[in-house]
Structure 1
């Protein structure tokens, strides 16, 4: 048997994880989903977040889940994902008042620095939609892993009704490249970036064991243009994302 490469092992683990999540989605309907609280300790070694930020993200997701359950009703299907102390809310609620209530509840959790509220008012996703979202997430992760010019672990991928959310810490070049790759995946209807943009210098400093790359960094004055894509999802000009307090930026 040929010796498996590190990338082969990563792809195998990714496929196993995606399959496990899909099976779970087929056997139970969970009104509240916590994004990354069950992540393995191995992420600490490869994640660009500080170990403190990783622990805070897990705590935010767990506390957020508990607090949203206290105000939940039969029309709330909320997913909470925290990355670098930024929280993404996806799913559906029954009213605009519920949408604001969930955001206010999560925003009051310790260490939350920003909430991106993508909750929709309406009916919850169907069984087929949830299964398709899980499949799309797996395909996007695999596509990012296959890319030779970006670090796949820089991004967390969340999919809701065909809309893919990219969360993470990355340079402008990496962000543009990851966006382009994601847009090329079949079934992706829109890409939203919720990413802390750091300079190449700040990232290099972090990789050398320096301080947290998100502290006091600025996007590079000039970034290399993203490669052209054959995707049918057009990409309009994008305003620079802030170095901290990232904002969701849709790509239609």
Structure 2
């Protein structure tokens, strides 16, 4: 049996609904298959090229082996790579172990920057890790449902109640994503490991003096105001520069579409 093209199927469904007088019941189907579907695909698309995604996967695999060799099975270390920038989270027994893991990461082929968030303390238990996984899932779900946030270009990692956001975002996207994370149940602290990029639409770009791209780690806690992305000092908020080369992989504009309510 020969299948009809997708557009033909959509048109047939819509025509059937109209003929049957069931327009209200069919509107959600038409929207999901049309405007909403297209917007969601653009919003959820990964801004990394296929080559960069593969590089990040290779870095994570190689880095895990390096951690095992450096610690000999001690500690609990998670390695997350995004645009060849490595985030280290988890727990290690000593400060020397923390330094050894970071040194191993910096020696790993392809790594362009390391953010060491390892804590010197006993390993977290299964209940804590399960809770962290649930929190990350909640944040991701809320990011997907937030208009104008490129959820597919944001990695979410949670460790002992601290949620890390990784990605390449405009100032507006970063502020929106941070706000979503801060308001998610279970999130105790938000750390942003991001490359700030100019808004491709020309609206709401970086503050003056930041240049076309800026790398930073920014953290917020509790209900404190959002951290300005221009780099000015804010009490209680730390900003650490992260060495990261310019990546030639310009993001595509995020298309935001406002739809009328379904009657």
- How high is the TM-score relative to the length of structure 1? 0.67
The residue that corresponds to 2:198 in the other structure is 199
CA contact (8 A) 1:75 1:124 kept: no
CA contact (8 A) 1:89 1:119 kept: yes
The gaps in structure 1 that reach 5 residues or longer are 12-41, 205-215, 220-230, 247-252
- Give the whole-Å Cα distance in 2 for the aligned partners of 1:64 and 1:129: 24
The residue that corresponds to 2:136 in the other structure is 137
Candidates 212, 215, 218, aligned match of 1:217: 212
* Displacement of 1:217: 2.9
CA distance 1:126–1:68, change in 2 (3 Å):
same
The residue that corresponds to 1:104 in the other structure is 103
- Give the whole-Å Cα distance in 2 for the aligned partners of 1:90 and 1:199: 29
- Give CA deviations for 1:212-250 in whole Å, capped at 9, x if unaligned: xxxx8336xxxxxxxxxxx9521254353679739xxxx
The residue that corresponds to 2:164 in the other structure is 165
CA contact (8 A) 2:113 2:242 kept: no
CA distance 1:116–1:143, change in 2 (3 Å):
same
The gaps in structure 2 that reach 5 residues or longer are 1-24, 204-210, 215-220, 232-240, 246-263
Structure 1's consecutive aligned runs of 4 or more residues displaced over 4 angstroms after TM superposition are: 1-4, 241-244
- How high is the TM-score relative to the length of structure 2? 0.65
- Give the whole-Å Cα distance in 1 for the aligned partners of 2:59 and 2:115: 14
- Give the whole-Å Cα distance in 1 for the aligned partners of 2:122 and 2:158: 17
Larger Rg: 2
The residue that corresponds to 2:230 in the other structure is 240
CA RMSD of aligned residues (A): 3.1
CA contact (8 A) 1:198 1:243 kept: no
CA distance 1:180–1:54, change in 2 (3 Å):
same
* Displacement of 1:154: 1.8
Number of residues paired by the alignment? 191
The residue that corresponds to 2:54 in the other structure is 55
Residue range with higher mean Cα deviation, 146-155 or 65-74? 65-74
